[in-house]
Amino acid sequence: MRGDTGKPVVTTTEAAILGVLTWGPMSGYDLKKAIDSSVGYFWGPAKSGIYALLPRLVASGFATSREVAQAGRPDKRIYRITAAGRKALRSWIEETPAPPDPDRNPLLLKLFFGSLTSPEVLVGQIRERRQEAERLDRALHEFDREADPDDLYGALTRDWGHEYARAVGRWARKAEAALARAEARADRRGARSSGQSTPRRLR
């Protein structure tokens, strides 16, 4: 597919697949594993999406495929990026990137209407988000240890991930503490209310 400028156009997910294919020919299974352990931390297409896009990349001339026989196992299909695919990928990289999409965050939407539930419920959901961020930070540290020290571009993406995870952690701990204080205030008000007798009306 070509855009208005005549340059070959790929979607962001197609670009991610083509980028990983520059590392060498891969089957769909191997491609998914490679994505999960690299770009999947910030752009993770579903397995079904990868398998659906591969034939489209072949039809567009951005990749080739061939079947490879396996002894005692079903044949597998191997995909390889083409020169046209590299050209399309480079065109995508050199475009001005689309701005991030910060306006779709279900957790913040829930938090905005948090007065309709208890602080305890929100604390649990925020804690889950913090724990996810902590797991991401630990996983990135594992990548740091195994990564090529000369790979500037991979290091920069991991740095972004570290900063993001730490920022989420800082915000989450602050929010958890604030909600815990709100829960404690609500408990105190409830205790005072339950300790007061309802005055009887004189007839």
The whole-model pTM stands at 0.74
Tens-digit pLDDT profile for residues 140-157 = 999 999 889 999 999 999
Calpha distance 161→101 (Å, rounded): 16
Domain residue limits, the chain: 12-94, 106-186
Calpha distance 186→183 (Å, rounded): 5
Class level of CATH domain 12-94? mainly alpha
Better-predicted residue by pLDDT, 198 or 33:
33
Calpha distance 40→203 (Å, rounded): 74
* N-term to C-term CA, the chain: 86
pLDDT of 201 reads: 47
Better-predicted residue by pLDDT, 20 or 70:
20
Calpha distance 42→153 (Å, rounded): 14
Strand order in the sheet with 73-81: 26-27, 73-81, 63-70
Residue with tokens 């026989």: 69
Q: Is the pLDDT of residue 44 over 50?
A: yes
Q: How far is CA 60 from CA 55, 63, 65, 83, 116, in A?
A: 9, 8, 12, 12, 51
